[in-house]
A and B are shown apart, each in its own frame.
Chain A
Amino acid sequence: MKQLSFLIVLTCCAILFPLNLAVAAPQPVKNEVVATTAPEESIERTKVFNSESFTLDNGMQVVVIPNFRAPVVTHMVWYKAGAADEEFGHSGIAHFLEHLAFKGSDLPGAAPLKPGEFSKIIRSIGGNDNAFTSHDYTAYFQSIPVAHLDMVMRMEAGRMNGIMPPPAEIESERDVVIEERKQRIDNDPRAQFQEQMASKAFVNHPYGKPIIGWANEIKKMQWPKIKEFYDRWYAPNNAILVISGAISPAEAFQKAIEIYGVLPRESLPERKRPQSPVVENADSQLIIRHPSIREPIIQILYRAPSARQNKTEALALQVLEEIMDGGPSSRLYRSLVSEKKIASSVGLSYSGDVWDDASVWLFATPAQNQSLKNLNKVLQDQLNLLIEKGVSEQELSDAKTRMIDSAIYARDSLAGPAMIIGQALVTGLTLDDVEFWPYNIEAITAQDVQAVAAKYLNPKQTLQYPAITGFLLPEAPEEKPPSEENPQPARTGAQR
């Protein structure tokens, strides 16, 4: 619902501490650890978060990240089900369900919670709660004084066991979701542009539809279908519990056994999603004009492997992202903004924490009086340079040092580590992938970086799925379209 989902709905994970920025290593990360030929088990490797994992008999995974700086905990339950697991024609069910999960739920050994009562109880103990939905997962969390952890675990276990929103509440919440969609997307041409970029890049794949759902489908969504989704996916063996804060792993595991351990294992469907076809002669360009836009934007969206699909390539893409866009002295800003003065802003982002294909976004805003056509060309030049010349050893080692060092900051938080670990596990990574991430980054070579650039971002090569180039432009009919090849602006719901 609620606050956090905002950015996730738009950019699928942007606020979720992308692994490459936030995951962290404690001090002793040294090259020789990786270079050594000693057998794996004899190496003393340091974990980033010092988390511990345990699996209940019913299949629910429990991860605890001890942190005793303040007498508080963040308690999160992640379900391996999101908008990409919805039936075709029922977009927005996962997110609507997330809203309705606050409208009345079971409470073991007591009367069920009434609509709204969950959050009110959390406030009354000095805590905050919320939830968010992505294409691949739905997560519920509470940050609370640790003394109330038992009660909150019982409340969340009850919510896993049964929810019962009254019909009138479903109708008023539908209006809330429609207002949410208006606020996030319909009121904002930039968000509409993003929505359509994804829809073009992920033809026939559920990542091409908005997490919040299409307005016409939200309007006709019915409770039996929502309940079906809940019954199908909300089960202990499809959930991951992450607790970060002032509690020892042993104590937290014991509580989890007593409270979540009594829920029965359920049979889960196979997670099968339609995949994108290779479309011949596909239109790879999107042009939207809108009267509210004063500052044009160019965005190029490439499909790339997720960490689950290819760990090494995902790590190489993270290093590539850092080299291209790790800060003001990284390649893109230095070249396009500081030196050439072609762009007023530029960036590249990649997050591998998704189940199916991930995306690389390249985006820029032209400096005043600079043409988008030229900006597009310079962006392509930057990719060509990367593909043809690769990266220098100095650039590589600077980038890796920054990534590994910045990982220390990731520990300096209560909820942050729970977000990072939850998101990684729920998209198919292991706890070791997170805890030993700095060692994996250290192992990435200049060749790895060049290879993923050549494979996934090559302007000169036909990719399996073509990159989508999008232009969001002011409404200025006399101005020439940015490319002669495709002079037809896409007319969309943006014009009302």
Chain B
Amino acid sequence: MRFVFFAFLIFLLPLTARAELLDIKPVTSPGGIKAWLVEDHTIPVIAIEFGFRDAGSANDPVEKQGLARLVANTMDEGAGDLNAQAFQKELQDQVITLHFDATRDYFSGSLKTLSKNKDRAFELAHMALTDPRFDREALVRMRQANQSRIRSSLSDPEWMAARLLNDKAYAGHPYALNSGGTLSSLENITTSDLKKFHDTMIGKNNLVVAAAGDITAEELGIVLDKIFGTLQDITPPEIADLTLQNAGKTFLFAKDIPQTVIQIIQPGINREAPEYHAAQVMNFILGASGFGSRLTEEIREKRGLTYGIYTSLFNLDHVHGLTLGTSTRTEKVPEMLNLIRAEYQRMIDTPITQKELMDAKSYLVGSLPLSLTSTDKIAEMLLSLQLENLPIDYLDVREKEIQATTIENVSAAARKILSPKSMTTILVGQPLPKDNPEFEAVEIVDTLPNVE
């Protein structure tokens, strides 16, 4: 076990000599299916995470939005000769976790099993992937569960703000739709839609696999063929790239609540851009770190305006962005928005301090092992590296690039990203008072998009 050795090493030489973080092995099955593996026999648990590129909900037709997620919900509800109840009972009784999901960009599956139940787990995964039943009973049950979820979410202002943000920032692009479906679009989805999605999106050539835990490379090779071997090649549709829309605008959905939810989005940074890692450092100092971030210091600690304020950089296949999320009592919304803009501007105008830089690097590099402490988390990390087309030694590359970041790199990243003019701002809460200067800029939205 390399980690044991590593632990002692670090004890003697704190945080200096670092070997590569994870011993990731590339594995190719006899049938030619590729996967990344981190082998670890400490606990008798195996996790396999897999994704299908370009098979996400961005392909959902407008009148059938929610399709990819509904396929995911229904795919583990019966397969082969097992109906939904029989299939779920086997999973439950053998404590096997098998579920599917869809992001905007890809369709994914997740399998976790105890070593002693692995053979049946692999069979059930194969059945669900290649021979799902998509029975009408299961579709209706899953549709109703989703409709119930949507109706329940209508008392959740953060969920409501996200609906509005997607609609405005991604206007004109499939990302603008509700990947969870709408109350009416879910009604339009039939079992033949599910089957068609399965036949055209779940393929061998868009498959990506990651595994971790109590399994050897040799055994994994055999298992890959067993689970995925009979998949056929497919041709996923092309999705266009997108520029964020409605820059500089503020939208408000009126709701009678004492605290207004605020979400802000603007363009972020490409993976390939030279300032990518500097932007991560900048984001950490600005708002991603929570405690200690500039936004938390100024807005929560000094002024008590909120319980939480966070920023986050994200990269989807067809767009990238920087988001901010927070909330404050209604009367403080204008002050809050001004403070956020001022902090963005300060990050552009004033170089960060040497201490800020060192602390950010230390966290971004040093905290990585904390996200690698369970079998499924390790497999998830391996999958996301592959889905983002990163090299197998990426964690080492990342560390070097973060360590090489300078104060000037961070300023350059801030100048590139943080213009207050490029913000699209979403508010859910009570309308602002009319005598406030912010009031004029706010566009009131009467109907929440992509819900009904």
A interface, CB within 8 angstroms of B: 27, 68-72, 102, 115-116, 119-120, 123-129, 143, 145-148, 169, 171-180, 182-183, 186-190, 246, 290-295, 326-330, 334, 337-338, 341, 344-345, 365, 367-368, 398, 401-402, 405-406, 408-409, 411-415, 496
Tell me the bound Cα distance from A183 to B310 in angstroms: 15
- Please tell me which one of the listed residues B157, B303, B359 contacts residue A124 in the complex, with CB atoms under 8 A apart: B359
B353, CB-defined interface residue at 8 Å? no
- Please tell me which one of the listed residues B6, B40, B85, B258 contacts residue A338 in the complex, with CB atoms under 8 A apart: B85
Known contacts A124-B363, A174-B304; A69/B259 CB under 8 A: no
In the complex, chain A residues whose CB is within 8 Å of the CB of B6: 70-71
B306, CB-defined interface residue at 8 Å? yes
Complex interface bits, B142-159 against A, C-beta within 8 A gives 1, otherwise 0: 001101100110111100
In the bound complex, do residue A120 and residue B359 qualify as a contact, i.e. CB atoms below 8 Å apart? yes
* Most chain B beta carbons < 10 A, residue from A115, A183, A290, A413: A183
- Please tell me which one of the listed residues B92, B151, B302, B308 contacts residue A295 in the complex, with CB atoms under 8 A apart: B151
Tell me the bound Cα distance from A408 to B44 in angstroms: 8
In the bound complex, do residue A172 and residue B367 qualify as a contact, i.e. CB atoms below 8 Å apart? no
Nearest-neighbor residue (CB-CB) of B154 within chain A? A294
- Please tell me which one of the listed residues B45, B89, B94, B372 contacts residue A412 in the complex, with CB atoms under 8 A apart: B45
B381, CB-defined interface residue at 8 Å? no
In the bound complex, do residue B292 and residue A120 qualify as a contact, i.e. CB atoms below 8 Å apart? yes
In the complex, chain A residues whose CB is within 8 Å of the CB of B94: 405
- Please tell me which one of the listed residues B88, B95, B304 contacts residue A172 in the complex, with CB atoms under 8 A apart: B304
Nearest-neighbor residue (CB-CB) of A495 within chain B? B256
Known contacts A176-B306, A330-B92, A338-B141; A119/B292 CB under 8 A: yes
Q: Nearest chain B CB to A72's CB is how many angstroms away? A: 5
In the complex, chain B residues whose CB is within 8 Å of the CB of A178: 329
- Please tell me which one of the listed residues A124, A147, A292, A408 contacts residue B11 in the complex, with CB atoms under 8 A apart: A147
In the bound complex, do residue A187 and residue B157 qualify as a contact, i.e. CB atoms below 8 Å apart? yes
Q: Nearest chain B CB to A210's CB is how many angstroms away? A: 15
Tell me the bound Cα distance from A145 to B154 in angstroms: 42
Q: Nearest chain B CB to A267's CB is how many angstroms away? A: 34
B65, CB-defined interface residue at 8 Å? no
Tell me the bound Cα distance from A345 to B305 in angstroms: 37
B373, CB-defined interface residue at 8 Å? yes
Tell me the bound Cα distance from A329 to B116 in angstroms: 21
In the bound complex, do residue A171 and residue B365 qualify as a contact, i.e. CB atoms below 8 Å apart? no
B15, CB-defined interface residue at 8 Å? yes
In the complex, chain B residues whose CB is within 8 Å of the CB of A402: 92-93, 95
Q: Nearest chain B CB to A21's CB is how many angstroms away? A: 11
In the bound complex, do residue B155 and residue A290 qualify as a contact, i.e. CB atoms below 8 Å apart? yes
Q: Nearest chain B CB to A466's CB is how many angstroms away? A: 28
In the bound complex, do residue B367 and residue A127 qualify as a contact, i.e. CB atoms below 8 Å apart? yes
Tell me the bound Cα distance from A183 to B261 in angstroms: 9
The residues in B between 1 and 19 inclusive whose CB is less than 8 angstroms from any CB of A are: 1, 3-4, 6-7, 10-11, 14-15
Tell me the bound Cα distance from A145 to B3 in angstroms: 13
B369, CB-defined interface residue at 8 Å? yes
Tell me the bound Cα distance from A402 to B367 in angstroms: 34
Q: Nearest chain B CB to A312's CB is how many angstroms away? A: 25
B327, CB-defined interface residue at 8 Å? yes
Q: Nearest chain B CB to A441's CB is how many angstroms away? A: 14
B interface, CB within 8 angstroms of A: 1, 3-4, 6-7, 10-11, 14-15, 40, 42-45, 84-85, 88-89, 91-95, 112, 114, 116, 141, 144-145, 147-148, 151-152, 154-157, 255-259, 261, 289, 291-292, 297, 300-308, 327-329, 358-359, 362-363, 365-370, 372-376
In the complex, chain A residues whose CB is within 8 Å of the CB of B148: 295, 344-345, 365
In the bound complex, do residue B367 and residue A368 qualify as a contact, i.e. CB atoms below 8 Å apart? no
Nearest-neighbor residue (CB-CB) of B308 within chain A? A183
The list of the 3 closest CB pairs from A to B, nearest first, reads A126-B366, A175-B304, A119-B291
In the bound complex, do residue A182 and residue B329 qualify as a contact, i.e. CB atoms below 8 Å apart? yes
User: Can you report 29 A-B residue pairs in the complex whose CB atoms are below 8 A from each other?
Assistant: A71-B6, A71-B369, A72-B369, A72-B373, A116-B291, A119-B291, A124-B363, A125-B363, A126-B370, A127-B367, A169-B301, A172-B303, A179-B304, A179-B305, A180-B307, A182-B258, A183-B327, A187-B259, A187-B261, A188-B156, A292-B255, A295-B148, A328-B85, A329-B89, A344-B145, A344-B147, A406-B95, A408-B43, A415-B373
In the bound complex, do residue A292 and residue B155 qualify as a contact, i.e. CB atoms below 8 Å apart? yes
Tell me the bound Cα distance from A72 to B92 in angstroms: 32
In the bound complex, do residue B359 and residue A146 qualify as a contact, i.e. CB atoms below 8 Å apart? no
In the complex, chain A residues whose CB is within 8 Å of the CB of B157: 187
Q: Nearest chain A CB to B429's CB is how many angstroms away? A: 9
In the complex, chain B residues whose CB is within 8 Å of the CB of A415: 373
Tell me the bound Cα distance from A334 to B11 in angstroms: 52
Known contacts A179-B328, A183-B307; A190/B359 CB under 8 A: no
In the bound complex, do residue A70 and residue B43 qualify as a contact, i.e. CB atoms below 8 Å apart? no
In the complex, chain B residues whose CB is within 8 Å of the CB of A330: 92
In the bound complex, do residue B366 and residue A413 qualify as a contact, i.e. CB atoms below 8 Å apart? no
* Most chain B beta carbons < 10 A, residue from A70, A146, A177, A326: A70
Nearest-neighbor residue (CB-CB) of A102 within chain B? B291
Q: Nearest chain A CB to B214's CB is how many angstroms away? A: 10
Tell me the bound Cα distance from A337 to B85 in angstroms: 11
In the complex, chain A residues whose CB is within 8 Å of the CB of B141: 337-338, 341
Nearest-neighbor residue (CB-CB) of A70 within chain B? B369
In the bound complex, do residue B4 and residue A173 qualify as a contact, i.e. CB atoms below 8 Å apart? no
- Please tell me which one of the listed residues A126, A290, A291, A341 contacts residue B362 in the complex, with CB atoms under 8 A apart: A126
In the bound complex, do residue B306 and residue A69 qualify as a contact, i.e. CB atoms below 8 Å apart? no
In the complex, chain B residues whose CB is within 8 Å of the CB of A119: 291-292
- Please tell me which one of the listed residues B95, B147, B155, B259 contacts residue A183 in the complex, with CB atoms under 8 A apart: B259
In the bound complex, do residue A411 and residue B43 qualify as a contact, i.e. CB atoms below 8 Å apart? yes
In the bound complex, do residue B373 and residue A124 qualify as a contact, i.e. CB atoms below 8 Å apart? no
In the bound complex, do residue A179 and residue B329 qualify as a contact, i.e. CB atoms below 8 Å apart? yes
Q: Nearest chain A CB to B16's CB is how many angstroms away? A: 10
In the bound complex, do residue A123 and residue B289 qualify as a contact, i.e. CB atoms below 8 Å apart? yes
Nearest-neighbor residue (CB-CB) of B430 within chain A? A496
In the bound complex, do residue A413 and residue B144 qualify as a contact, i.e. CB atoms below 8 Å apart? no
In the complex, chain A residues whose CB is within 8 Å of the CB of B303: 172, 175
- Please tell me which one of the listed residues B11, B95, B152 contacts residue A146 in the complex, with CB atoms under 8 A apart: B11
Tell me the bound Cα distance from A330 to B44 in angstroms: 26
In the complex, chain B residues whose CB is within 8 Å of the CB of A125: 362-363, 366
In the bound complex, do residue B45 and residue A408 qualify as a contact, i.e. CB atoms below 8 Å apart? yes
- Please tell me which one of the listed residues B3, B45, B302, B329 contacts residue A68 in the complex, with CB atoms under 8 A apart: B3
Nearest-neighbor residue (CB-CB) of A409 within chain B? B45
In the bound complex, do residue B114 and residue A408 qualify as a contact, i.e. CB atoms below 8 Å apart? yes
Tell me the bound Cα distance from A179 to B304 in angstroms: 8
Nearest-neighbor residue (CB-CB) of A189 within chain B? B155
In the complex, chain A residues whose CB is within 8 Å of the CB of B256: 291, 496
- Please tell me which one of the listed residues A148, A174, A290, A326 contacts residue B92 in the complex, with CB atoms under 8 A apart: A326
In the bound complex, do residue B373 and residue A69 qualify as a contact, i.e. CB atoms below 8 Å apart? yes
In the bound complex, do residue B3 and residue A71 qualify as a contact, i.e. CB atoms below 8 Å apart? yes
Known contacts A120-B291, A328-B92, A329-B92; A414/B373 CB under 8 A: yes
Nearest-neighbor residue (CB-CB) of B289 within chain A? A123
Tell me the bound Cα distance from A329 to B308 in angstroms: 39
In the bound complex, do residue A69 and residue B40 qualify as a contact, i.e. CB atoms below 8 Å apart? yes
In the complex, chain B residues whose CB is within 8 Å of the CB of A143: 370
In the bound complex, do residue B155 and residue A293 qualify as a contact, i.e. CB atoms below 8 Å apart? yes
Tell me the bound Cα distance from A295 to B451 in angstroms: 14
In the complex, chain A residues whose CB is within 8 Å of the CB of B370: 70, 72, 126-128, 143, 414
Q: Nearest chain B CB to A117's CB is how many angstroms away? A: 9
